[in-house]
Amino acid sequence: MTMSSVATRTYSGATPRAQLIRAAFRLEWLTVAWMVVEAAIALASGVMAGSVSLIAFGVDSVIELASAGVLIWRLTVELRRGASFARAPELRASRIGGALLFALAAYVVVAAGWSLWTRQGAEFSSLGMLVSLAAIPVMWLLSWRKLRVAEALGSRALRTDAVESITCGWLSFVVLIGLLAQMALGAWWVDAVTSLVIVWLLVKEGREAWQGEEADD
């Protein structure tokens, strides 16, 4: 008896795996709907304010969109062809998620470094503050649900996607704190420094996601 089968029964009792897959589908489509709005607002407000943390927040939203698309593809493979055919897509989806996390970490480091080097601060953005505030409860709820379904399915790819939702939640919190500190202190370096806080989590989870099933062997 595998750990994933035990987790499935623990989570859902007699619920068939197909129903868990459909639950994952619903979570991914909810993610897509929210991320379209979040990415548009965060990127627009970030560009207008010249904010590294807001632009990183928007880029993270775009990565979440891509990750959700990958998960929808992986789940579709299992629904159409069965769990045995989903092993390769699972590993591929997990590695794509890991690569996306690495890409975001690299962007944040370069953008924040450039901002500190040129001593260019960002303008305060009330729109950015509103979207980051709204994202915190949305991302925590989505990530909590995804982690439960990922455990039940034994899916590292879905767990990676859930971690990206957690990362988005943390990043929105960091952006919010940075914007409030910027409003209170008016310091030019606040935006760049707060954007670097999330990098360690991106690298850690990106590494685990890239290892995929090899980490479980």
Q: Give residue-wise pLDDT tens across range 31-86.
A: 999 999 999 999 998 888 877 778 878 887 887 888 788 788 878 877 776 655 55
172-177: average pLDDT: 82
pLDDT tens string 2-30: 434 434 444 444 458 778 888 888 999 99
Lookup result for tokens 């953008």: 111
The domain of 18 spans 3-216
Cβ 63 vs Cβ 44: under 8 Å: no
pLDDT tens string 129-168: 899 899 999 999 999 999 999 888 888 778 878 877 887 8
Mean pLDDT taken over the chain: 77
Lookup result for tokens 């129903």: 19
- Cα separation of 75 and 122, whole Å? 41
Q: Count CA within 13 A, CB hemisphere, residue 179.
A: 27
Give the CATH number for residue 126: 1.20.1510.10
Q: What is the pLDDT of residue 89?
A: 66
Q: How many domains does the chain have?
A: 1
- Cα separation of 75 and 49, whole Å? 39
Local confidence band at 201 (pLDDT 50, 70, 90 cut-offs): confident
Q: What are phi and psi of 121, to 5 degrees?
A: -85, 180
Task: Dump the DSSP string for 44-75.
Answer: HHHHHHT-HHHHHHHHHHHHHHHHHHHHHHHH
